Structure 1
Amino acid sequence: MTEPAIDTTTVPLREELLRHGNNHRSSTHAWEAVADGIGWHQPTPSDCWLAPSRTISVVIPAHQVGYSLPTVLDALESQHHHYEFEVIVVDDASTDDTAQVAIRHRVVDRFVRLPQRMGAATARNIGTALAQGQTVLYLDGDMVIPPHVITDIATRATETSVLLGFRHHVRYEVHSQDPAILARIPNLGADHRVVWRPPANTLLPYSGITLPEPLDGRPLDDTHDFIDLGYGQRYYDWDLPSTVSTALAAAPRAAVLDVGGFAQGFGSLGRGMEDTYLGACLVAAGLLVIPLRQAVGFHLDPPDAAEQWQHKLASRPLILARYRELLELPVPRGRAQDFIAAMTDLLTYCEERP
């Protein structure tokens, strides 16, 4: 006797996540089998002409990043990718020189300025709507990537994978006084998804657990490149959606459109977790979350990094509450047409330069 079909239009996102694994070994092994001896986690050599599997659009949400955007764009211009890729900068109503930097830089193919502050989610959504590439690389306006990263992503991307890069924070006092530090190789272990040392006897708000003693955690290693986080499993305070950080991450444009892009309600509550929710939606849609250990960029902290961090912590309870509400709603599907219509309407109020 066959089991009755599940009506996925009413299944909460939280429950749907329990049905999806993340065993991406067959995908990475299949790629390595045809990659001319290059390992999945190896930087693609500059003299390699391995054909890209997908076309790439880089979408950069930008707000008050005049201190870092020139370096970010220079790094994109210095990529050793042998094929064309698109760069879209969406300025979230900055009041510094962010817009001027983007407009003047020759690597930028398209610039859009929002009419008022709307948040990174809206900026990324606008960029996704405009993107021509099959895969969208979301890159923050303070992330400086090494020259192999675009090729790493373009040659490994598929229509069913979310590729994750990592970030190495550099304090403003350091990178502003010693720009030469960016010539070094970023440290993979600087990312909390790789080396994670949470405090003891402190409530971890995402999972609601409290660790009785200090932990020297290794989320990436201990979960076998996040494979063990499939089917809703956790590694202490981590689950699969929470590994998705769009400071440096690539996803198929069609899949992002289908789930309706980034949820824009988080921006009015504070900062963060719109990428976690997008990750949850994409996992529920059947995509695999695959890390690229070699794709590590320098995250250039702003002058007011400490103040921004405190603001993020203060807004965390509201952000988490909203995220949990969304997990109880049905899995978003079939939203591409409405998404494009909404972004097209918003674009009529924006300043745009091709």
Structure 2
Amino acid sequence: MTTRRSADGSLPLRRHLQHQGNNHSSSVHAWEALADGIGWHQATPATCWLAASQTVSVVIPAYQVGHSLSTVLDALDAQHHRHKFEVIVVDDFSADDTVQVAAGHRVVDRLVRLPQRMGAATARNVGTALAHGQTVLYLDGDMVIPPHVITDIAARATDTSVLVGFRHNVRYEVHHRDPAISRRIPNLAADHRVVWRPPPKTVLPYSGTTLAEPLDGRPLDDTHDFIDLGYGQSYYDWDLPRMVVTALVAVPRAAVLDVGGFDAEFGRLGWGMEDTYLGACLIATGLLVIPLRQAVGFHLDPPDAAEQWQHKLAGWPRTLARYRDLLELPAPRGRTQNFIATMSSLLTHCEVHR
């Protein structure tokens, strides 16, 4: 089969993914050799000397998260990281008290409100443009992380890796009754990338395949921590870009700028896939996707979680189609200057609260 090329001879992004492996074993082993007996998947003590390796900026896109944002920010304030990290909240024109919550919290360094609803992709782009850290941790406004996570990331981040965390879904009411929830240990197996039981005889939404029998899937284990997903391989309905979930993921800021950030069109079309596309772009440049099993946060559902989920699913076919189209275009590179110029222009129309 002949590979389609663009007018300038560039390979499509899809083909770049087929050429990139994800064997991160040597990177992990090299880190462990320096880490004074700390395993890659172990919580990192505040005293670990590697914790000063990278500066970190936490970017939180916030839309209607007044129910959870205070708890999320409290958890950031409680991090045992001994080095300065910044917290940037970008409000996506919320109609609730999201801005007021962020404005009143001492851990927030920068707070910006978009001039209209533009989607999480644009909110993350604005936060990335404002960030000063070498590593950007994208954290959802309903993700509560344990005290060691910032140190885990700062100690392991490099300019060639995407560090993937996980999430444990829990109803907000449970937290509301128990202020000590942030001191519990989240359950890694609650993330679908770890334990996955898809319905049989139902078309899987991403790959379009149908399973004849029930499956007790273990994507993280069965792919050897995503190593076996290199070179465009898949695990049923999962591939390597799909493992990059911005609920909790750390990436090198320079690499995000180089590929042009998140594609803003996803936010206009509906929900999802903007993180998958960013993951694909970063993988195409040669970055390795490495999981951190200890970096698990509590994902706090809003009171109308079921209704919101149905609304998100309704728009997912449109964002998936957009992603498929982008896979056939050249892999983006060299977009830093245009990205900064675009975000700087947008910021002139935003409300800057701090």
Alignment of 1:54 onto 2:54: yes
- CA distance in 2 between counterparts of 1:194 and 1:230 reads 18
User: Does the aligned pair in 1 maintain the 2:35–2:48 contact within 8 Å?
Assistant: no
Cross-structure match for 2:185: 185
Cross-structure match for 1:211: 211
Residue type of the alignment partner of 2:265: G
- CA distance in 2 between counterparts of 1:237 and 1:42 reads 29
Further displaced range: 43-52 or 255-264: 43-52
Cross-structure match for 1:289: 289
User: Does the aligned pair in 2 maintain the 1:9–1:330 contact within 8 Å?
Assistant: no
Cross-structure match for 1:320: 320
Alignment of 1:238 onto 2:238: yes
Cross-structure match for 1:101: 101
Q: For the structure 1 residues 286 and 177, does the alpha-carbon distance in structure 2 shift closer, same or farther, using more than 3 Å as the test?
A: same
Q: How does 1:64-213 map to 2 (within 5 A)?
A: 64-213=64-213
Shift of 1:7: 10
- CA distance in 2 between counterparts of 1:200 and 1:316 reads 21
Shift of 1:47: 4.0
The CA deviation string for residues 118-139 of structure 1, in whole angstroms up to 9 with x for no partner, is: 1000000000000000010000
- State the SS of the aligned residue for 1:196: coil
Q: For the structure 1 residues 51 and 306, does the alpha-carbon distance in structure 2 shift closer, same or farther, using more than 3 Å as the test?
A: closer
Shift of 1:174: 2.3
Residue type of the alignment partner of 2:287: L
Q: For the structure 1 residues 8 and 166, does the alpha-carbon distance in structure 2 shift closer, same or farther, using more than 3 Å as the test?
A: farther
- CA distance in 1 between counterparts of 2:171 and 2:199 reads 22
User: Does the aligned pair in 1 maintain the 2:138–2:248 contact within 8 Å?
Assistant: yes
Cross-structure match for 2:3: none
Q: How many residues align?
A: 349
- CA distance in 2 between counterparts of 1:142 and 1:51 reads 25
Shift of 1:9: 5.9
User: Does the aligned pair in 1 maintain the 2:51–2:152 contact within 8 Å?
Assistant: no
TM-score (structure 1 length as normaliser): 0.96
Cross-structure match for 2:252: 252
Shift of 1:175: 2.4
- State the SS of the aligned residue for 1:249: strand
Shift of 1:46: 3.7
User: Does the aligned pair in 1 maintain the 2:198–2:215 contact within 8 Å?
Assistant: yes
Shift of 1:227: 0.2
Q: For the structure 1 residues 346 and 9, does the alpha-carbon distance in structure 2 shift closer, same or farther, using more than 3 Å as the test?
A: farther
Cross-structure match for 2:268: 268
Shift of 1:177: 3.2
- CA distance in 2 between counterparts of 1:133 and 1:314 reads 36
- State the SS of the aligned residue for 1:210: coil
- CA distance in 2 between counterparts of 1:339 and 1:307 reads 35
- CA distance in 1 between counterparts of 2:202 and 2:298 reads 29
- CA distance in 2 between counterparts of 1:207 and 1:331 reads 21
- State the SS of the aligned residue for 1:106: coil
Cross-structure match for 1:347: 347
User: Does the aligned pair in 2 maintain the 1:49–1:82 contact within 8 Å?
Assistant: no
- State the SS of the aligned residue for 1:201: coil
- CA distance in 1 between counterparts of 2:8 and 2:111 reads 38
- CA distance in 2 between counterparts of 1:220 and 1:174 reads 28
- State the SS of the aligned residue for 2:238: coil
Residue type of the alignment partner of 2:149: V
- CA distance in 2 between counterparts of 1:70 and 1:312 reads 24
Alignment of 1:334 onto 2:299: no
User: Does the aligned pair in 2 maintain the 1:9–1:331 contact within 8 Å?
Assistant: no
Residue type of the alignment partner of 1:167: R
- State the SS of the aligned residue for 1:309: helix
- CA distance in 2 between counterparts of 1:336 and 1:48 reads 33
Residue type of the alignment partner of 1:138: Y
User: Does the aligned pair in 1 maintain the 2:59–2:136 contact within 8 Å?
Assistant: yes
* Identity across matched positions, percent: 78
Shift of 1:49: 4.1
Residue type of the alignment partner of 1:270: G
User: Does the aligned pair in 1 maintain the 2:269–2:315 contact within 8 Å?
Assistant: yes
Shift of 1:345: 0.1
User: Does the aligned pair in 2 maintain the 1:126–1:343 contact within 8 Å?
Assistant: yes
Structure 1 alignment gaps of length 5 or more = 1-5
- CA distance in 1 between counterparts of 2:50 and 2:289 reads 23
Cross-structure match for 1:3: none
Cross-structure match for 1:304: 304
